Amino acid sequence: MSDNTATHTDIAIIGGGLVGLTTACALAHSGMRITVVEGRPLETVQSAQSDGRSSAIAYGSYRFLKDIGVWDTLEYKAEPILDIRVSDSDSRLFLHYDHRLVGDEPMGYMVENHDMLKALVAKLQTFPNVTVLSPVSWEDICYKPHATNITLNNGQTLSARLLMAADGRFSKIREHANIDITKHYYQQHGIVCTVEHDKPHHGIAQERFLPSGPFAILPLANPHQSSLVWTEKDHLAPTYMAMNDDDFNAQIYHRFGGYLGQVKTISKRFSYPLTLVLAKHYTKGRLLLIGDAAHGIHPLAGQGFNLGIRDCEKIVPLLTHQYQLGLDLGDTSILSGYEQQRHFDAMSLTAITHGLNHLFCSKLLPVKLARRAGMAALNKAPAIKKFFMEHAMGMKV
């Protein structure tokens, strides 16, 4: 393939999901030429029919989205998270995280993914230096000393100073580059839907650790609606997915414990297989992995997208600085510095989410007693709670 016929771009981002689009918006402010390549049509990417999830956006991520100008259109669609209550199966004891322990601001916001994706696409369309190619995929990638050439299935070839892979946890670009991964299948599925309930949620997020996995009820902008993430064992998930609405509603009512009154599903149900995928390296030559392509973790702490935003927060100033000084965007020392710093954050969160999932799924009596004693002790230790909250809010990493 000849470089003369290729379209030159400073950065090519393959994958126009939450992290790819956020990174493109953040980079666009520098004036760099950014090309985003997304395999699905943009209408599908932004549709509630293709992603039924909502994301807990940590306070630190909210500030970043505000800084890059994406939050303004989301403000009235986002629900502040004021309180988080974590309980263990049938125990009446719960861990209580009140936002007032760390200040006046909410701990974060709940936003429906399709609203977030719409806001990101709309923002990108305001930048003349950003091109979004969709539905387009890549066919071949060739790493050269001064650029990366990407052959696309629309007949075009891109020549980029840097290629960012934001193509999700099953990244084919990562595979093509022979980057090793650590993988663990949780043998769980996340069943996701939106529910309507009689009583208002008051901005309270609930996470109940049931024997099959965590069951999260997350407040949406409508005070009578919540997003549900029900982690269920693999062999049982298809049964719940196939249930008629009345039976499904009865199952979720039983798990909600009645505190929101009657509940009913108002959206399609989605089911996501839960897999941990960690790349051993986040960079190779002129390739950089971001978001789930670098680290796909268990959703129980609602941190996957937040982790991707923190990737973006780290790499964008480094690349902007290189660009403004006319330096190489594929500089190895810059890219490996990013890898070193981001690896630690991702590994810490992986250890926490992985450990919590195992700890709370255990039915062994000594483990049950120990975790309840741990929760009771933590409830009485505001300094430790504050420490955990500040980390979960992305205020300290």
Cα–Cα nearest to 203, from 179, 183, 180, 220: 220
Residue closer to ligand FAD (CB basis): 91 or 156: 156
Residue closer to ligand FAD (CB basis): 74 or 382: 74
In the 3-class helix/strand/coil scheme, how is 248-310 assigned residue by residue?
A: HHHHHHHHHCCCCCCEEECCCCEEEEEEEEEECCCEECCEEECHHHCEECCHHHCCHHHHHHH
Residue closer to ligand FAD (CB basis): 16 or 219: 16
In terms of C-beta density within 10 A (0-12 exposed, 13-18 middle, 19 or more buried), how is residue 342 classed?
buried
Residue closer to ligand FAD (CB basis): 90 or 217: 217
Question: Residue 290: left if φ>0, alpha if ψ -120 to 50, beta else—which one?
Answer: beta
Contact between 40 and 193 (Cβ < 8 Å)? no
Strands of the 79-81 sheet, one edge to the other = 54-58, 108-112, 79-81
Residue 305 to residues 10, 17, 67, 166, 233, Cα–Cα distance (Å): 25, 10, 17, 12, 23
Write down the least CB distance from residue 301 to ligand FAD, Å.
8
Structure tokens at 63: 């500030």
Write down the least CB distance from residue 5 to ligand FAD, Å.
21
Write down the least CB distance from residue 324 to ligand FAD, Å.
26
Residue closer to ligand FAD (CB basis): 344 or 374: 344
Binding site residues, ligand FAD, CB under 6 A: 14-20, 37-40, 45, 53, 55-56, 137-138, 166-168, 172, 190, 192, 229, 272, 291-292, 299, 302-306, 308
Write down the least CB distance from residue 237 to ligand FAD, Å.
12
Phi, psi at 291, each rounded to 5°: 65, -145
DSSP state of 246: H
Residue closer to ligand FAD (CB basis): 66 or 146: 66
Write down the least CB distance from residue 29 to ligand FAD, Å.
19
Query: What is the SS3 assignment for 141?
Result: strand
Residue 104 to residues 107, 108, 132, 336, 379, Cα–Cα distance (Å): 9, 12, 39, 38, 20
Residue closer to ligand FAD (CB basis): 91 or 212: 212
Write down the least CB distance from residue 248 to ligand FAD, Å.
17
Write down the least CB distance from residue 54 to ligand FAD, Å.
7
Q: How far is CA 377 from the centre of its chain?
A: 30
Residue type, 365: L
Closest CB to ligand FAD belongs to which residue?
A: 17
Residue closer to ligand FAD (CB basis): 45 or 335: 45
Write down the least CB distance from residue 365 to ligand FAD, Å.
30
